[in-house]
Structure 1
Amino acid sequence: MDLKKILEDVKNNNIDIEYALDKLKNLPYEDLGYANIDHHRQLRNGYPEVIYCEGKSDEQILGIIEKMKEKDSNILGTRCRKETFDKIKKIYNNAEYEELSKILKIKNHDIVNIGKGKILVLTGGTSDIPVADEAYYTAKFLGNDVERIYDVGVAGIHRLLSRRHILEEARVIVAVAGMEGALPSVVGGLVDVPIIAVPTSVGYGANFGGVSALLTMLNSCASGISVVNIDNGFGAGYLAATINKLK
């Protein structure tokens, strides 16, 4: 069933709107040769497609942005190089860049807050901030009230405990940590909300590029913790936003 026939059938009352929306969820994607842009992802998943910039050329990224802008999509890019952003900014004046997290943002329409509560992003140390900021800006761009508390790791646990009232106000918590990755387990013993653990590659040799933190988080004795991949702040922010919009 093509788009024109769906619209004609709705107009002539041959099908109802709910049926039409169900059919539209599978339409369409746009083939650019190097990318298939899923313009209807927001209909299915609630959020538009996000551009993973790493490994793509500047020309490919600009091509994807152009086609998404034609559909009036808000555009979020992750792992965007500063040099790439500089080229984008010359074409799109409303483009914004978060240098630490390498997040690219282009708002083509207002972002509506659809979150039901607050998302809280924590880090064990200052070195974890680039990954945490990726989670923060992702969740915020997807329409959430997001707060950050950084450098509250287990080496000085009183720094976290002094902010316990903020932890208790959150609906979802993203806990970002490298080294041994103990922060999510500690937080898990203090709150009754979902915790998304993010291991980072921060640490010395036996950290194995974040594997030690990943294993600690996967083996946490605290309940209610999910774990994303090493340095995957985007995945954590996206998951937190998905949880926070549930009724």
Structure 2
Amino acid sequence: MSPKEILEKYKNGEMTLTEALEHIPDRGIEEMGFATIDTDRHKRTGLPEVIYSSGKTVEQVSQIAERMHLKGIDVLATRATPEMFEAVKERIPGAQYNALAKTIIYKQNTQPSTEGYIVVVAAGTSDMPVAEEAVETAQFLGNRVEKVYDVGVAGIHRLFHRLELIRNARVIIVVAGMEGALASVVGGLVDKPVIGVPTSIGYGANFQGLSALLSMLNSCASGVSVVNIDNGFGAACQASLINKL
């Protein structure tokens, strides 16, 4: 019985919801007891299931990664420790680790990179861990990515030196801590979507990134949207969806 036939029978009252679900062999769920993998996420949303490693044990991360690998799902784990990587690598020998981004990646489903590219602009070297998380995620999702690092407003001429590369991107991710002014500056210079990523980098009054977040949210430049503090992953997902429109 096809999914369409099952749905029709359910809608016509010929089958209960429980009976309908029993006729569907794969509901997009992989139960592991301590975790439930969404195996259908990529088909449903265009973005795959990803492991957020913070708060999980080394064993949990490695088991989830292995199960995803066995199900044919490319593996991306964010906020992962070196210990987690070593455990994953034992189960998936080809896995790669970016120590700065804290990401574990294993891709078995190759896909061509997009023609248009995403550019990740970081205000300072201290913002690079968040910027690298965005880069790794965007590349994992099949995007061509360019980097423009250490071009904060304290030396704004450094930004102008790379302006052509930035303007030619389809989407721009701007990563900045301190006062977070770079997102507004870039937003006033380009005609492309700008995604601001405030970071927790800064002195005491930065409030662990809150001041940068509020600055970006209050940007007077049109076309600037903002994700949460240190959320390079979220910015890359949004940028990837825009880049593939």
TM-score (norm 2): 0.89
Shift of 1:93: 1.3
For 1:74, the aligned partner's letter is D
Shift of 1:112: 3.1
For 1:97, the aligned partner's letter is Y
Counting matched residue pairs gives 226
Residue of structure 2 in register with 1:194 after alignment: 193
Deviations 1:161-212 (A, max 9, x none): 1111111110000000000000010001100000000000000000000000
Instruction: State how far apart, in whole Å, the 2-side matches of 1:117 and 1:40 are.
Output: 27
> Post-superposition, which runs of at least 4 consecutive aligned residues in structure 1 deviate over 6 A?
none
Instruction: State how far apart, in whole Å, the 2-side matches of 1:221 and 1:78 are.
Output: 32
Residue of structure 2 in register with 1:66 after alignment: 66
Residues 13-28 of structure 1: matches in 2 within 5 Å? 27-28=27-28
Instruction: State how far apart, in whole Å, the 2-side matches of 1:81 and 1:159 are.
Output: 33
Deviations 1:86-143 (A, max 9, x none): 1211221110000001011011231332x35110000110000000000011001100
Give structure 2 stretches of 5+ with no counterpart.
6-23
Residue of structure 1 in register with 2:19 after alignment: none
Would you say the 8 A contact 1:51–1:76 is kept in 2? yes
Would you say the 8 A contact 1:41–1:47 is kept in 2? yes
Deviations 1:198-230 (A, max 9, x none): 000000000000000000000000010110000
1:207 match: secondary structure:
helix
Residues 113-192 of structure 1: matches in 2 within 5 Å? 113=113, 115-192=114-191
Instruction: State how far apart, in whole Å, the 2-side matches of 1:6 and 1:72 are.
Output: 23
For 1:214, the aligned partner's letter is L
Residue of structure 1 in register with 2:222 after alignment: 223
For 1:144, the aligned partner's letter is N
Q: Percent identity?
A: 55
For 1:227, the aligned partner's letter is V
Residue of structure 1 in register with 2:87 after alignment: 87
Residues 105-116 of structure 1: matches in 2 within 5 Å? 105-113=105-113, 115-116=114-115
2:2 match: secondary structure:
helix
Cα root mean square deviation, aligned: 1.6
Instruction: State how far apart, in whole Å, the 1-side matches of 2:161 and 2:62 are.
Output: 45
TM-score (norm 1): 0.88
2:55 match: secondary structure:
coil
For 2:162, the aligned partner's letter is R
Would you say the 8 A contact 1:197–1:227 is kept in 2? yes
Shift of 1:8: 11
Residue of structure 1 in register with 2:212 after alignment: 213
Would you say the 8 A contact 2:47–2:237 is kept in 1? no
| 1:6 equivalent among 2, 7, 19 | 2
Shift of 1:27: 2.4
